[in-house]
Protein backbone atom coordinates (compact mmCIF):
# COMPACT_ATOMS: atom_id res chain seq x y z
CA UNK A 1 0.00 0.00 0.00
CA UNK A 2 1.13 3.54 -0.61
CA UNK A 3 1.22 6.06 2.23
CA UNK A 4 -1.84 7.73 0.65
CA UNK A 5 -3.75 4.42 0.71
CA UNK A 6 -2.66 3.81 4.32
CA UNK A 7 -3.87 7.29 5.22
CA UNK A 8 -7.29 6.59 3.68
CA UNK A 9 -7.53 3.19 5.39
CA UNK A 10 -6.65 4.54 8.86
CA UNK A 11 -9.23 7.31 8.47
CA UNK A 12 -11.95 4.66 8.04
CA UNK A 13 -11.18 2.76 11.25
CA UNK A 14 -13.80 3.19 14.03
CA UNK A 15 -13.55 6.51 15.89
CA UNK A 16 -10.20 7.33 14.24
CA UNK A 17 -9.12 10.95 13.99
CA UNK A 18 -6.32 12.48 11.93
CA UNK A 19 -4.09 15.42 12.76
CA UNK A 20 -0.82 16.71 11.34
CA UNK A 21 2.01 17.22 13.81
CA UNK A 22 5.81 17.22 13.93
CA UNK A 23 6.91 18.63 10.61
CA UNK A 24 4.10 17.22 8.49
CA UNK A 25 3.56 13.82 10.12
CA UNK A 26 -0.01 12.53 9.76
CA UNK A 27 -1.01 11.21 13.19
CA UNK A 28 -3.95 8.85 13.59
CA UNK A 29 -5.57 8.55 17.00
CA UNK A 30 -8.41 6.74 18.67
CA UNK A 31 -9.72 8.27 21.87
CA UNK A 32 -6.93 10.83 21.73
CA UNK A 33 -4.20 8.14 21.72
CA UNK A 34 -1.93 7.59 18.72
CA UNK A 35 -1.97 4.31 16.82
CA UNK A 36 -0.31 5.17 13.48
CA UNK A 37 2.06 7.79 12.05
CA UNK A 38 2.66 8.51 8.37
CA UNK A 39 5.74 10.66 7.88
CA UNK A 40 6.96 12.57 4.85
CA UNK A 41 9.81 10.89 2.94
CA UNK A 42 13.13 10.83 4.84
CA UNK A 43 11.60 11.89 8.17
CA UNK A 44 13.44 10.50 11.21
CA UNK A 45 10.45 8.52 12.54
CA UNK A 46 10.28 6.25 9.50
CA UNK A 47 7.75 6.36 6.70
CA UNK A 48 5.05 4.40 8.52
CA UNK A 49 5.06 3.75 12.28
CA UNK A 50 2.44 2.01 14.37
CA UNK A 51 1.73 0.54 17.77
CA UNK A 52 2.07 -3.21 18.11
CA UNK A 53 0.91 -5.48 20.92
CA UNK A 54 3.66 -5.83 23.55
CA UNK A 55 3.83 -9.60 23.03
CA UNK A 56 4.66 -9.10 19.31
CA UNK A 57 7.09 -6.21 19.61
CA UNK A 58 10.35 -8.15 19.97
CA UNK A 59 9.78 -10.35 16.92
CA UNK A 60 8.25 -7.62 14.78
CA UNK A 61 10.93 -5.02 15.54
CA UNK A 62 13.55 -7.40 14.11
CA UNK A 63 11.53 -8.68 11.14
CA UNK A 64 12.60 -7.87 7.58
CA UNK A 65 11.70 -4.28 6.73
CA UNK A 66 10.83 -3.31 10.30
CA UNK A 67 12.79 -1.45 12.96
CA UNK A 68 12.02 -0.08 16.40
CA UNK A 69 10.27 3.26 15.94
CA UNK A 70 12.47 6.22 16.89
CA UNK A 71 11.17 7.98 20.01
CA UNK A 72 8.35 5.44 20.42
CA UNK A 73 10.09 2.06 20.70
CA UNK A 74 9.79 2.14 24.50
CA UNK A 75 6.01 2.17 23.98
CA UNK A 76 6.27 -0.87 21.64
CA UNK A 77 6.03 0.93 18.30
CA UNK A 78 7.66 -0.23 15.06
CA UNK A 79 8.53 1.59 11.83
CA UNK A 80 8.62 0.66 8.17
CA UNK A 81 10.78 2.76 5.90
CA UNK A 82 9.25 1.07 2.84
CA UNK A 83 5.62 0.04 3.33
CA UNK A 84 5.81 -2.06 0.15
CA UNK A 85 7.61 -4.84 2.07
CA UNK A 86 4.12 -5.86 3.22
CA UNK A 87 1.18 -6.97 1.16
CA UNK A 88 -1.90 -4.74 1.33
CA UNK A 89 -3.66 -7.39 3.45
CA UNK A 90 -0.73 -7.55 5.89
CA UNK A 91 -0.62 -3.76 6.14
CA UNK A 92 -4.34 -3.54 6.87
CA UNK A 93 -4.05 -6.31 9.48
CA UNK A 94 -1.20 -4.54 11.31
CA UNK A 95 -3.07 -1.24 11.26
CA UNK A 96 -6.31 -2.84 12.52
CA UNK A 97 -4.35 -4.48 15.33
CA UNK A 98 -2.61 -1.18 16.20
CA UNK A 99 -6.00 0.52 16.37
CA UNK A 100 -7.51 -2.32 18.43
CA UNK A 101 -4.56 -2.36 20.85
CA UNK A 102 -4.96 1.34 21.61
CA UNK A 103 -8.77 1.17 21.73
CA UNK A 104 -8.66 -1.75 24.19
CA UNK A 105 -6.43 0.26 26.53
CA UNK A 106 -8.91 3.17 26.72
CA UNK A 107 -11.12 3.42 29.79
CA UNK A 108 -14.42 1.60 29.32
CA UNK A 109 -16.35 4.86 29.58
CA UNK A 110 -14.29 6.36 26.73
CA UNK A 111 -14.76 3.18 24.66
CA UNK A 112 -18.52 3.46 25.16
CA UNK A 113 -18.52 7.16 24.20
CA UNK A 114 -16.72 6.27 20.97
CA UNK A 115 -18.96 3.32 20.21
CA UNK A 116 -16.10 0.83 20.43
Tell me the angle at which helices 88-105 and 3-11 cross, rounded to the nearest 10 degrees. 40
To the question of domain 3-107 being in CATH 3.90.1150.30, the answer is yes
Residue 46: pLDDT above 90? no
Domain extent listing, the chain = 3-107
Which tens digit of pLDDT belongs to each residue from 7-43?
999 999 999 999 998 888 999 999 999 999 998 887 6
Residues 34/75, Cβ–Cβ less than 8 Å: no
pLDDT value for 110: 95
How are strands ordered across the β-sheet holding 77-80? 16-21, 25-30, 33-38, 48-51, 77-80, 66-68
For 26, phi and psi rounded to 5 degrees?
Answer: -80, 125
Which tens digit of pLDDT belongs to each residue from 54-99?
999 999 999 999 999 988 999 999 998 888 899 999 999 999 999 9
Q: How far apart are CA 69 and CA 44, in angstroms?
A: 9
Amino acid sequence: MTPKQIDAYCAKLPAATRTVQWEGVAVFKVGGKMFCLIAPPDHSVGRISFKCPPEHYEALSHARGFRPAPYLARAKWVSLDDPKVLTPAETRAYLRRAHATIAAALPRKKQAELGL
